[in-house]
Amino acid sequence: MWTSTFSLEPGVAILLIAHGSRLATANRDLTLLAEQLRQRFDGNIVETAYLELTEPTIPQAAAACVASGASRVLMLPYFLSAGTHVTEDLKRFQAEFTAQWPSVKFDRCPPLGLHPLMLEIVCDRLHEVA
């Protein structure tokens, strides 16, 4: 299994962003991933946000990052591809947050997309039912 070996500097927050669902079970994945990231990056801020249908919203979670003392926020879209939400909506939020909190740097991470490990994930899922 692949594991990352890098660390984040103090003051860096991770803002995990998903689409959001009316089904709590669908939203729970993001919450569980956030818990794992908190363990991996002990001491860094990790917040979850949803584009629509549930809370916290992206602006609410960004405000929580800033209120917790973040000097930099890594906006990580928990999306498979760079569709409109990733390319337009998150870019708009980034601009709004930068204007609202000019002393905090907001960076957008790429979506999950065709990361080299995606093939392994897909094969693992296929193996589960094959």
How sure is the predictor about 3, in pLDDT bands with cuts at 50, 70 and 90? low
How sure is the predictor about 5, in pLDDT bands with cuts at 50, 70 and 90? confident
Write out the two tokens for 90: 């998150």
CATH class, range 12-129: alpha beta
How sure is the predictor about 1, in pLDDT bands with cuts at 50, 70 and 90? low
Q: What is the pTM of this model?
A: 0.91
Give the separation between CA 18 and CA 49, rounded to whole angstroms: 6
> Going along the chain, which residue ranges are E strands?
12-18, 45-50, 72-77, 105-108
The 10s digit of each residue's pLDDT in 69-94 is 999 999 999 988 888 878 899 999 99
Give the separation between CA 44 and CA 40, rounded to whole angstroms: 9
